[in-house]
Amino acid sequence: MVSIAAAELGDKTQLGLITLAATLRKPVPIFLGMIAGYLIVAGLAVLVGRALLAIIPLSILTLASGLIFIVIGLLMLKVSFEGGVSSPRVRNPFLAASLMIVFTELGDKTQIVTIALAARFAQPIVVLSGVLLAFVLIDGSSIILADRLGKRVQTGKVRKVSAVIFIVIGALALLGIF
């Protein structure tokens, strides 16, 4: 859950949800749409991770998982924020949020991490529950804050803290601690 939360802080999807919430001012349908979208994307990731475990030994997946965390952390330090959703084309907040999640998260770092976690821990329900809880806590609170505070979000600092957390988790995984 911590790794997904760290990956989501300052992510384009989080910023897109903030923009939707600040623009549409409908936090409940946006929140429910977010959950629907993440359920689809995280569910697919858990299924892929579970299949990998059946093919590749756990020790190799653990090594790959640690390396993935470190690489994503390093990339997070390097990549600058390019922008979220500028103006939703869909007037339905639930649909706008769920479609945005599905299209922005496919192949995103949080989906890759979810695949790695599902493959490593071989407990798909626990991984899916933890992933969804992380999204609800991070993105759900972002929706509430955006609805109340407007569009002021400093992404640079959040991205750096998230990157460092990712690198530490990756290093701990390589050392066999996490």
C-alpha span between 80 and 75 (Å, rounded): 10
Interval 109-149: pLDDT, tens = 788 888 888 888 878 899 899 999 999 998 999 898 877 76
List strand residue ranges (DSSP E) for 25-139, in order.
none
Interval 42-95: pLDDT, tens = 898 888 877 876 787 767 766 776 787 687 678 767 754 444 443 334 478 898
**Is the pTM of the predicted complex or chain greater than 0.85?**
no
Per the CB < 8 A criterion, the answer to whether 120 and 50 are in contact is: no
C-alpha span between 18 and 16 (Å, rounded): 5
Query: Locate tokens 């384009």: which residue?
Result: 12
| CA angle, 107 then 112 then 115, to 5° | 120
Torsions phi, psi of 106, nearest 5?
A: -60, 115
C-alpha span between 6 and 90 (Å, rounded): 29
